[in-house]
Structure 1
Amino acid sequence: MKQIVLAILFIATFVVYPSQTNAISMPCSLILKPIDKSLINSKGIALIYKVQLNPPSFARTNISILAVHLPKPSSYGNYDSYEGFAFIPDEISWRFRLYPTPEGVSPTWAGRFDLITAEMRNVTVQVRLSNSKTKKLGTSILTNNIEYCK
């Protein structure tokens, strides 16, 4: 009888209080992979962590992106830059400009956003094409889901 009660308590513990949560532990890094598999050299990384801003306030979440070996934005049409884009489906999104380094042929694109207050669950992080004049956001070039953040 004791074994049955113990087994029921043990099973109930895992059903009522699951051991895994959907929230990520921070800081973490996320490899951004190309949508188009022919872009074998195009890669990126997103660093996600809590940041304390001045003047002192509650901690916010920062997403910093670095992307390398991306094709020229103009090769996809009327685009001249890239943006970082992160979103929680049907809830909220954040977009921020990525800036190229002065390297000539294939610059590194980097940028950050520091003001996220939402809980980081089911977030997708992307590098997307952008037209800086019209503010039009294009298709995703690199992407990954925060569940793979390590």
Structure 2
Amino acid sequence: MKKPLLWICVLLLAAIFPVAVQAAPPESKYPCSLILSAKENMPVNAKGVALVYRVLRDVGGERTSLSIHAQYLPEPASLGNYDRYEGFAQVAGEISWRFRLHPAPAGTENPTWAGRIDDITGPLERASVQVRLSNSTTNTLGPIVLESVMSKCN
């Protein structure tokens, strides 16, 4: 008879003084990867991938790293007054980041273009990630050739 009474007391106490349950923290979107798709008038094989994740740097603490790897892009000069490609990420109307993509291996007909930036401090959750043409002499960006948005991050 004592056991059922004990259980009733425990249940009453639980009902009167519920235990606070903390919700699990929201899952981070990092690390994540994005497939960068070709815009109109680009070769059918042109594709890219972006990798986004948090890095701990020796100086400056934790930051977000964004790297881009793009393939089968035409020579920049064949698309206008451009001599290179750049990675570009932007949260429209708020902030943007840009960094140079380097061809590797150099001298091949279809090099892989790759680069990264490791010092992003702002949120990328709503960012557009792009590969764009660039003119190094005038420091101007050209049109988007590959693109995806962070909301599609896997």
TM-score of the pair, normalised by structure 1: 0.80
Aligned to 2:23: none
Classify 1:65/1:59 alpha carbon distance in 2 versus 1 (closer, same or farther; 3 Å). Answer: same
Establish whether residue 99 from structure 1 lines up as the match of residue 70 from structure 2: no
1:67 aligned to which of 60, 67, 70 = 70
Q: Answer whether contact 2:37 2:148 (CA < 8 A) is retained.
A: yes
Q: Structure 1 residue runs of 4+, over 2 Å off?
A: none
Q: Deviations over 1:66-125 (max 9, x none)?
A: 000001101111101000000001000000000001251011000001111112221000
Indicate the RMSD between aligned Cα atoms, in angstroms. 1.6
Q: Distance in 2 between matches of 1:76 and 1:134?
A: 16
Task: Tell me how far 1:32 sits from its aligned partner.
Answer: 0.2
For the pair shown, which has the larger CA radius of gyration, 1 or 2? 2
Q: Distance in 1 between matches of 2:140 and 2:93?
A: 20
Q: Which has the higher strand share?
A: 2
Structure 2 spans left out of the alignment, 5+ residues: 1-25
Task: Tell me how far 1:58 sits from its aligned partner.
Answer: 2.6
TM-score of the pair, normalised by structure 2: 0.78
Q: Distance in 1 between matches of 2:135 and 2:39?
A: 20
Q: Answer whether contact 2:42 2:145 (CA < 8 A) is retained.
A: no
Establish whether residue 146 from structure 1 lines up as the match of residue 141 from structure 2: no
Classify 1:134/1:49 alpha carbon distance in 2 versus 1 (closer, same or farther; 3 Å). Answer: same
Alignment of 1:44-83 (within 5 A): 44-55=48-59, 57-83=60-86
Q: Distance in 1 between matches of 2:69 and 2:100?
A: 11
